[in-house]
Structure 1
Amino acid sequence: MRALTYAPDLAVNVVPDPAPTESQALIRVAAFSLNFGEIAYRSAGARPGYVPGWDAAGVVVQAAADGSGPAAGARVVTFGWSGAWAELRAVNTADLAVVPESVDLGTASALPVAGVTALQALRRLGTVSGRRVLVTGASGGVGRFAVQLAARAGAHVIASVGGPARADGLRELGAAEIVFGPENLDGRLHGVLDNVGGRQLAEAFYRLEDDGVVMAVGRAARETTVIDFELAGTRSARGRIENFNVSTPFGGDLAHLLGLLAAGELDAQVGWRGPWERAEEAAAALLARQVAGKAVLEL
């Protein structure tokens, strides 16, 4: 089969077909989406023929041998820590969900890591109805899902972005306020979904209310976070920081998000879309923060 691999740059190459285990379905991939983390923090020592990629959507060509999951012919969206950037993907049936006919497969491919991360991180904040929730890096893939899901949960959502151009569309998604960095924020926060790290995470922490929490989701700034706890003692309340890691299996959360998408209650915010031969272009745009939301590549 053909797959997108680093050799050393992103290019379409021929690699062996995947061999599904008993609990895996074989998927013919129609589209996959790129995530900042899998590009910015990719391993420099990947073995030859290694196929990267977390998110993909397509059609089941071989159902799982153990009888779990959908039958051949089902349209599905899938998650795994590798193998998405290829014509065929073997994936655990617990990490896939059937895509409604009304939902385009390219759009569905934008959901797994970004959508499920936003959903699970928001759950970790507890009840947010009527409370102030800050989303940093709100213009990115996770950020745009987080703004929508927090607003649906009744939060007063504050979207933090790098500048006016990055704020486009965020009010329509549910942001009640837009700030250009947490340092420009007035008032205290119940919760923070931080996708940036570094200085912004520290500034958000200083603005927590009693028992407020920062969920440290991402590290888009690619810089170390330094917190002055003496300063925090004079500026912040008794808040805390939690390191967030997404949990598997993804199937149930993907089905929930697909339901919202099909009902028109969630927008996948695909900001770049094109053939997989343009992968280098899409990856560069994502790293340069030139994509509003998700980048989707089609086979």
Structure 2
Amino acid sequence: MRAVWLTGFGGPEKLVPGDAPDPVAGPGQALIEVAYVNITFVETQFRATGAGPYRPELPMIPGNGVGGVVSAVGPDVDPTLIGRQVVSSTGGSGGYAERAAVDAAGLFLVPDGLALDSAVALLADGRTATWLVHSAGLVGGERVLVEAAAGGVGTLLVQLARAAGATVVAAAGGPYKVGLARDLGADVAVDYRNPDWTDRVRAAVGGVDVIFDGVGGTVARAAFELLDRGGRMLSFGLASGEWANISEEAAERRGAQAIRPAMDPTRLRTFTESALAEAAAGRLRPSIGQRFPLHRAAEAHAAITSRTTTGKTLLTPH
């Protein structure tokens, strides 16, 4: 089969198309004919530095989120899964390929009425956004600032916060991304590349009660100054290359919280299923900004790291 190999840690050029042995569904596994692969920002960091929860042997096939049709199952796996459309994590590797053998217990059936590409786009980002809204304890009437509002998670946070009854302020980089966030339902949308962006937020809504921080760095530190007493900042990403690094003393002075919440692994499935169900019902719309054929995975990574992408980036093996 065709695949993309990570030959070393470094730039996007370390992703090299090539052949790989066809995987086989072992005990407890299902074999997926991959139609779409989702790329996460974390994967670009792993490619660049090797930072991650494990140290694989190189070369390896990266990729942690796939969607397609089950073509075979291993021993002790329900044979009625064959022919079903599913999305699944791979466990951290093996996704950038035409086929992937995955743990059958981790499969998610694609709900009726939801396109397969949308389901793949929601696999990682949908559960993250749903978990963040849950962790924030968001209630109607609160003012919510979403950083990186045109990204994969940010576009979903805008919609979920709006559905929860919040006043949504979207911060994104560049006019096109600002317009996308506004189209998704943001009440106020600002370009955080403008030096007075926080002044514009204050003029529109005063302070904010919740910040979903997907950028980190100077953007997040500026956003933190918008928090009113009792507010909370939840940091989940560092598109800038660094975390917000708000000290406990600074948070205490504002009477606010700056937290980096930890995902409860026992809730992963619940949050994923919730996102898929909301999308199937038409209440959540993933934004797929760009698609690349599998052999151009290096270009996809380069686009993400240059921050020229919007929404979700997918690879298409076929």
Q: Is the 8 A contact 1:273 1:297 kept in 2?
A: yes
Report deviation, 1:74. 0.8
1:275 pairs with 277, 281, 293, which one? 293
Please name the residue that 1:97 is paired with. Answer: 108
Q: Within 5 Å, give how 1:137-152 maps onto structure 2.
A: 137-152=148-163
Contact 1:5 1:13 in 2 (8 A): yes
Residues 204-219 of structure 1 mapped to structure 2, 5 A cutoff: 204-219=223-238
Counterpart amino acid of residue 202 in structure 1: R
With over 3 angstroms needed to count, the CA separation of the structure-2 counterparts of 1:177 and 1:274, relative to structure 1, is same
CA displacement 1:238-264 (0-9 Å, x = unmatched): 111111344446433333222222222
Distance 1:241 1:33, change over 3 A: same
Query: Given the superposition, is the C-alpha separation of residues 58 and 247 from structure 1 closer, same or farther in structure 2, using an over 3 Å criterion?
Result: farther
Match of 1:35 among 18, 32, 40: 40
Provide the alpha-carbon RMSD of the alignment. 2.5
CA distance in 1, matches of 2:240, 2:110: 34
Q: Would you tell me which structure has more helix in proportion to its own residues?
A: 2
Secondary structure of the residue aligned to 2:150 is coil
Counterpart contact for 1:70–1:98, Cα < 8 Å: no
What's 1:165 paired with? 176
- Please report how far the alpha carbon of residue 53 of structure 1 lies from its aligned counterpart in structure 2 after TM superposition: 1.1
Report the equivalent of 1:10: 15
Q: Which residue of 2 aligns with 1:251?
A: 269
Q: How far 1:70 moved relative to its partner?
A: 6.1
Counterparts of 1:151-190 in structure 2, within 5 Å, are 151-181=162-192, 183-184=198-199, 185-186=201-202, 187-190=206-209
Q: What displacement does 1:210 show?
A: 2.7
Superposition TM-score, scaled by structure 2 size: 0.84
Map 1:65-104; keep pairs closer than 5 Å. 65-67=75-77, 71-79=81-89, 80-104=91-115
Q: For residues 224-243 of structure 1, what are the structure 2 equivalents within 5 Å?
A: 225-227=244-246, 236=254, 238-243=255-260
State whether residues 205 and 239 of structure 1, in contact with CA within 8 Å, keep that contact through their aligned partners in structure 2. no
Number of aligned residue pairs: 297
Shift of residue 225, structure 1, vs aligned partner = 3.3
Identical aligned pairs, as a percentage? 35
Q: What secondary structure is seen at the aligned counterpart in 2 of 1:32?
A: strand
Q: Secondary structure at the match of 2:239?
A: coil
Structure 1 length as normaliser, TM-score? Answer: 0.88
* CA drift at 1:195: 0.4
Q: Match for residue 69 of structure 2?
A: 59
3-state DSSP of counterpart to 1:47: coil
Shift of 1:270: 0.5
Cα distance in 1 for residues equivalent to 2:263 and 2:105: 15
**Residue aligned with 1:168, SS:** helix
Gaps of 5+ in 2: 9-13
**2:11 aligned residue:** none
Deviates most, 44-53 or 209-218: 44-53
**How far apart are 1:17 and its partner, in Å?**
4.0
1:222 maps to which residue?
A: 241
Give, in angstroms, the shift of residue 90 of structure 1: 2.5
After superposition, the Cα gap between the structure-2 partners of 1:155 and 1:65, relative to the gap in structure 1 and judged at 3 Å, is farther
CA distance in 2, matches of 1:256, 1:170: 22
Deviation at 1:228, TM superposition (A): 6.7
